[in-house]
Amino acid sequence: MNALMSLFRTWQLGIKSLFLHPMRSALTVLGIFIGVAAVIWLLAIGEGISQKAQEQIASLGARNIIVRSIKPPLEKLGDSNVAEFGLLRKDFNLLVNTIPQIEVAIPIREMKISFSFGNNDMDGRLVGSTTDYFNATKLKLAKGRFLSPADVDKNKDFCVLSMGIAEALFPHDDPIGKRVYCPTNQTYYEVVGILRKRTASAGIGGSLAAQDYSRDVYIPITTLNQRVGDVTRRFQSGSFYAEKVELHQATIQVKTMDDVLTVAELVKDALRTQLESGKGDIDVIVPLELLEQAETTRMMFMIFMGLIAAVSLLVGGIGIMNIMLATVTERTREIGIRRALGARQGAIQRQFLVETITLSIVGGLVGVAVGLLCPVTLEWLRDTLIENFPEEMESLPAEVRETVPIIVPISIPVSFGIAVLIGVIFGMYPAYRASRMDPIEALRHE
């Protein structure tokens, strides 16, 4: 109790001494405050970005394996006029029928194409798939219905529009029941449903690059095979190119998460050695693996941020030491008086240490407070920027534009603790210097 009281008095005295030079104390605090706030901000922003990335990966489905056809470079295609590559239907069926852990497998074909209705037209992407596609990609309906299994079975000329296409082609009308025209193939598809807007994200493309869902038109894959066939032609820079692709992508959903990696290995192995398709033109993407990679990246990021923060706190600490050394010299006389009036060396040491620690605690507290303001401040900053520089902001990647910082709870006690620790460590030497002064010399000091 007595010791506590004495500590309290020392602390009280420390505060009074610090208020003798409010400006100097404030500047000293600034060093620590910036360090602590930086730790919290950097980690919050990092966490925000990494959560966004993880959400995107998770939206691919943690139980999914994505088998994606890649167009090989032109010189590899040989003399043939038709670029033939990608996953074959029979291999797809073989995989689905041999691997028992597979729950659902979704074949996908897609092509860039333009759509029109009346006088409106719009470039977009025609996607052929099955009903399961909508579940696997977690697309939501705004109106109407998805394609049904019956539509797929019977090669119906039905389509589901994404909001972007629907708005472009039908600015005033209700699209349901209307027929969208594809000039390239001279085909018509009747609209049965419209999807809700979805922010661009990593899509069926499977790479982590943002994928735009806003211009997709979905039709049954059977219809696509029948109407368009496997070979697509495109007129490009003066000559025709043809591509023969049976499946652009297969999304395989495994029954349990534990099986994902096994099945992925199996699929990769089969593609490498046994199947006809897949001469280096097929990529197998495992979102779970990506998730794990993202976790590793996050750890690296954390360590990196930790280093930056450590450096800034170190600088803050050196700042504190510098100021305290100057303060000790300046207060030599006071030290002499206190020693003459009976202060032991330990008491002097404690006094200066308490002052340093007080500075770093205040710095830490202010830093934590400012750190907690991070989400609010960034939101305000983003709103202001969007308002004043809409085009520049639009050109930024979505990850930057839409990231919401998430404060990592552990960063608060850790950064605060480190700040106080810095105070103790860097306060030690000045306090020691103060305590070792000869009282007679100190009293004589002007």
Partner 1 sequence: MSNIAVRAENLGKDYVLKSETVHALRGVTFDVPEGDYVAIMGPSGSGKSTLLNLLGCLDRPSFGELYLGTENVATLNDNGLSDIRSKRIGFVFQSYNLIQQLNVVENIQVPLYYQGKVNRTTRKRAIELAGKVGLGDRLDHRPQQLSGGQMQRVAIARSMVNDPYYILADEATGNLDSKTTDEILCLFEELNAEGKTIIMVTHEDEVAARCRRVIRLRDGHIESDLPIEQDRQKYHYSMPTTEQPEDEEEDVAVTQAQAVTSDGFSVGDDELVIGGSSDSHDEPEIEVDIDE
Say if residues 415 and 40 touch (Cβ distance below 8 Å).
yes
How many Å from the N-terminal Cα to the C-terminal Cα in the chain? 38
- CB of 129 within 8 A of CB of 107? yes
Tell me which stretch binds partner 1 (CB under 8 A): 57-65, 140-148, 314-322, 438-446: 438-446
**How many Cβ atoms sit within 10 Å of the Cβ of residue 308?**
14
Question: What are the start-end ranges of the H helices in 177-245?
Answer: 221-228
- In whole angstroms, the minimum distance from the beta carbon of 360 to partner 1 comes to 20
Which of these ranges, 41-49, 57-65, 95-103, 343-351, lies near partner 1 under the rule CB under 8 A? 343-351
Instruction: Decide: is 339 part of the binding site for partner 1 (CB under 8 A).
Output: yes
| Integer CA distances (angstroms), 347 to 188, 352, 430, 434, in order | 91, 9, 14, 10
d(CA 193, CA 196) in angstroms, rounded, equals 10
| Nearer residue to partner 1 within complex by CB, 233 or 444 | 444
Residue 4 touching partner 1 (CB under 8 A): no
CA dihedral angle for residue 252, residue 257, residue 263, residue 265, rounded to 10 degrees: 120
Q: What is the CA radius of gyration of the chain?
A: 33
Of positions 11, 13, 289, 428, contacts partner 1 by CB under 8 A: 13
With contacts defined by CB under 8 A, name the span among 15-23, 50-58, 159-167, 200-208 that binds partner 1: 15-23
Binding-site member from 136, 263, 343, 431 for partner 1 (CB under 8 A):
343
CB 160 within 8 A of CB 194: yes
345 binds partner 1 (CB under 8 A): yes
When binding is defined by CB under 8 A, the residue of 254, 338, 352, 426 that contacts partner 1 is: 338
Q: What's the closest the beta carbon of residue 10 comes to partner 1, in angstroms?
A: 9
Rounded least distance, CB 428 to partner 1, Å = 19
Q: Select 131 or 332, whichever has its Cβ closest to partner 1.
A: 332
Of 231 and 340, the one with the shorter C-beta distance to partner 1 is 340
**CA 127 to CA 86: how far, in whole Å?**
16
Q: Which amino acid is at 62?
A: A
Rounded Cα distance, 395 and 383, in Å: 15
Closest CB 345 distance from partner 1, rounded Å: 6
Using CB under 8 A, which of the segments 83-91, 162-170, 345-353, 414-422 binds partner 1? 345-353
- Is 234 one of the binding residues for partner 1 (CB under 8 A)? no
Query: From the CB of 344, what's the least distance to partner 1, in Å?
Result: 4
**What dihedral angle (degrees, nearest 10) is formed by the CA atoms of 408, 413, 415, 420?**
170
**Which of 333, 380, 390, 417 is the binder for partner 1 (CB under 8 A)?**
333
Instruction: Tell me which stretch binds partner 1 (CB under 8 A): 1-9, 51-59, 229-237, 393-401.
Output: 1-9
Residue 420, interface with partner 1 (CB under 8 A)? no
Q: Of all helices (H) and strands (E), which one includes residue 64? A: strand 64-69
User: Rounded CA gap, 110 and 91, in Å?
Assistant: 18
Over the range 73-104, which residues count as b (16 or more CB within 10 Å of their CB) and which as e?
A: eeeebeeeeebbbbbbeebbebbeeebeebeb
- List the x/- string, 19-48, binding to partner 1 by CB under 8 A: xx----------------------------
From the list 250-258, 270-278, 335-343, 372-380, the region that binds partner 1 by CB under 8 A is 335-343
Specify the residue, 185 or 345, whose C-beta has the smaller distance to partner 1: 345
Closest CB 373 distance from partner 1, rounded Å:
33
What does the block give as tokens for 196? 């809700």
Token reading at 195: 């999807």
Q: Give me the residues that bind partner 1 (CB under 8 A), please.
A: 2, 6, 9, 13, 16-17, 19-20, 333-334, 336-347, 439-440, 443
